[in-house]
Amino acid sequence: MTPDHVTRRYCDHAHASPMDELHLTYEDRFLRRKVLSLQSGAQVLVDLAQTTSLDHGGVLLLEDGREIGIVAAPEDLLEVTGPDLPRLAWHIGNRHTPCQIEAERLLIQRDHVIRDMLNKIGATLREVTEPFTPEGGAYGHGRTHGHSH
């Protein structure tokens, strides 16, 4: 099936009311070229110049100027709480694990190795299904990979 629309640009915020939405998980929001199904059922060919991390609230700009809103889709996560949240956050960050940081909790992707480590250092863990919008890299927006920063 041929996509109905083509987009070659991404913007981190909307300029107008989006014509449609893409609901994508954290992993799915990292892409360069792919055919995706919109909420309406229509398809769009995303063909960006480089691999890009699409943020919740951002938009893909269609060739005709219309916008498609990016929405973080619910996914299986691990909620981390405990009496020393900064210490728990440090251990998660030390393993380069994407982490959504909130005042009373941390959210990470489910991982049995990280779960075991957090249990051993006193974290309280609960499985949840929610949208995941982890922090970007310290040296700019988006994701960090490896130690090249």
Q: Which fold has domain 75-131?
A: Alpha-Beta Plaits (3.30.70)
**Can you name the residues that pair with 70 across neighbouring β-strands?**
22
Asked if residue 70 has pLDDT above 50, the reply is yes
Q: Could you identify the residue written with the tokens 């030390």?
A: 94
Residue 6 corresponds to which tokens in the numbers above?
């083509």
**Overall pTM > 0.85:** no
Nearest alpha-carbon partner for 118 in 99, 137, 102, 132: 99
* Domain boundaries defined on the chain: 5-72, 75-131
Q: Which residues contact 9 (CB under 8 A, 6 or more apart)?
A: 48, 60, 61
Q: What's the pLDDT score for residue 146?
A: 40
125-134 pLDDT, tens digit each = 999 999 999 9
103, exposed or middle or buried, with CB in 10 Å at 0-12, 13-18, 19+?
exposed
25-63 pLDDT, tens digit each = 999 999 999 999 999 999 999 999 999 999 999 999 988
Count other Cβ atoms within 10 Å, centred on residue 47: 16
46, exposed or middle or buried, with CB in 10 Å at 0-12, 13-18, 19+?
buried
The class (CATH top level) of 5-72 is mainly beta
Distance CA 119, CA 98 (A): 18
